[in-house]
Each structure stands twice: as C-alpha cells, then as structure tokens.
C-alpha cells in the first residue's frame, strides 16, 4: 500500500519533519543505496541529510549549496550522480519543470500532489486526500502499466497573494 487514502489533513504541508521520521527515512535511503551496492560516502550521507532537512523540495543547486557547507570542494556532478541513483532506487521523487530547475522530494518518494506557487516558486506537499488509488484504476481502464502519477496544482500561494494580489506572474509552467 502506498499512502492511506483518507488522511484528509488540510492545506499545505510544510512541517519541519520530526526527529523520528527524519532518522527513519535517512536509514531507509542509506539501506536502499547499500542494497544497490553503492557506498554511502560522507558526501552522499550529507546530501541525504540536506535533502531531508529541507521542506522546500530543493533543487540540485540548493542541495549542492547545502552539501558544500560541510564539504566545500563538492562538485555539482556528484549531486546529479547521487540524485540519479536515488531516482533509480525509488528513493526520491523528481518534480519536473522545463522553465526552471527540477525539484526533489526525499521525504515522500511516492507519487503525490503538490502545490506550486507560480510567483515565488514554492513547492509544497498537498496532503489532502487523493481520490482513491488512481494508479490502479487508471492501469485497469487504460491498459497502460502505470508506474507514476504526477499531480500538481499551480497558482499563487497565500503569502504571495498578500504581497501582491495580482494574478499570474513568474514561471511559465503548465
């Protein structure tokens, strides 16, 4: 089972993630890497921590910045490499954008909807109950072997609405 279907909590989720879940996810991710036969180096460990510590759904360069605070010489390529491995092991969810950098969710690597602010480019989890396992039903009805669902809501976040109640600005993503 992926996510319970009726967790109807409300609104946008930007909780700082409690210690326990943090450590649990961290171990899961490390285990997944080891499982695949790749080493959990210090830089990779730091990358995982940066990824989990942020509630921003960080981009590769944001992660890079975070890792560099501990290991200044780290190359961007290392971040891209490791993210690639995490994708392969299903330990990170990639949220694609064509007009700006992709964003990554390491906390909840399974498909789930997000709220994307077109103005400030915030990306938040939207932990409203999703329909009722759309993946399965869509697979059955369409004949596709559905492996991933992307659902993103785009608009202006309450903060930006307060700041400038104008409508669409910023990024051109659909």
Partner DNA sequence: ATAATATTTAGAATCATTCTAATTTACAGG
Partner DNA sequence: CCTGTAAATTAGAATGATTCTAAATATTAT
Of 69, 100, 140, 168, the one binding DNA by CB under 7 A: 100
Q: In what order do the strands lie in the sheet with 12-13?
A: 12-13, 123-126, 114-117
Residue 17 interacts, among DNA, its own copies, none and using kind-specific CB cut-offs from 5 to 8 Å, with: none
Nearer to its own copies, 5 or 42 (CB): 5
Alpha carbon 142 to its chain's center: 27
Residues numbered 126 to 155 that lie near DNA (CB under 7 A) are none
Nearer to its own copies, 67 or 115 (CB): 115
User: Where does this chain bind its own copies (CB under 8 A)?
Assistant: 10-12, 87, 93-99, 102, 111, 115, 117-118, 126, 128, 131, 134-135, 138-139, 141-158, 161, 167-168, 172-174
- 31 binding DNA? (CB under 7 A): no
- 57 binding DNA? (CB under 7 A): no
Residue 64 per-residue DSSP state? H
Of 43, 107, 112, 122, the one binding DNA by CB under 7 A: 43
- Burial annotation 57-83 (CB, 10 A radius, 16+ → b, else e): bbbbebbbebbbeeeeebeeebbeebb
How far apart, in whole angstroms, are the C-alpha atoms of residue 24 and residue 152? 27
Question: Phi-psi region for residue 109, left (φ > 0), alpha (ψ -120 to 50) or beta?
Answer: alpha
Nearer to its own copies, 78 or 139 (CB): 139
Contacts of 154 (CB under 8 A, 6+ apart): 116, 118, 173, 174
Residue 74 interacts, among DNA, its own copies, none and using kind-specific CB cut-offs from 5 to 8 Å, with: DNA
How far apart, in whole angstroms, are the C-alpha atoms of residue 65 and residue 123? 18
Nearer to its own copies, 71 or 97 (CB): 97
Nearest approach in angstroms of CB 136 to DNA is 29
Residues in touch with DNA (CB under 7 A)? 38-39, 41-44, 59-61, 71, 73-78, 80-82, 84, 98-102, 172
């Amino acid at each position: 089972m992926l996510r319970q279907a009726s967790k109807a909590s409300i609104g946008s989720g930007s909780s700082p993630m409690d210690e326990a879940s943090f450590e649990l996810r961290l171990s899961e991710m490390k285990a997944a890497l080891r499982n695949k036969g790749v080493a959990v180096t210090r830089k990779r460990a730091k990358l995982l921590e940066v990824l989990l510590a942020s509630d921003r759904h960080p981009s590769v360069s944001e992660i890079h910045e975070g890792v560099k605070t501990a290991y200044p010489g780290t190359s961007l390529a290392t971040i891209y490499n490791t993210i690639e491995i995490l994708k392969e092991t299903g330990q990170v969810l990639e949220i694609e954008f064509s007009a700006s950098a992709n964003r990554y969710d390491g906390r909840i690597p399974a498909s789930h909807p997000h709220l994307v602010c077109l103005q400030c480019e915030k990306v938040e989890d939207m932990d409203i109950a999703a329909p009722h396992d759309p993946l399965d039903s869509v697979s059955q009805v369409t004949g596709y072997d559905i492996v991933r669902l992307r659902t993103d809501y785009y608009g202006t976040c309450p903060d930006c609405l307060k700041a400038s109640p104008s409508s669409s600005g910023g990024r051109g993503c659909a």
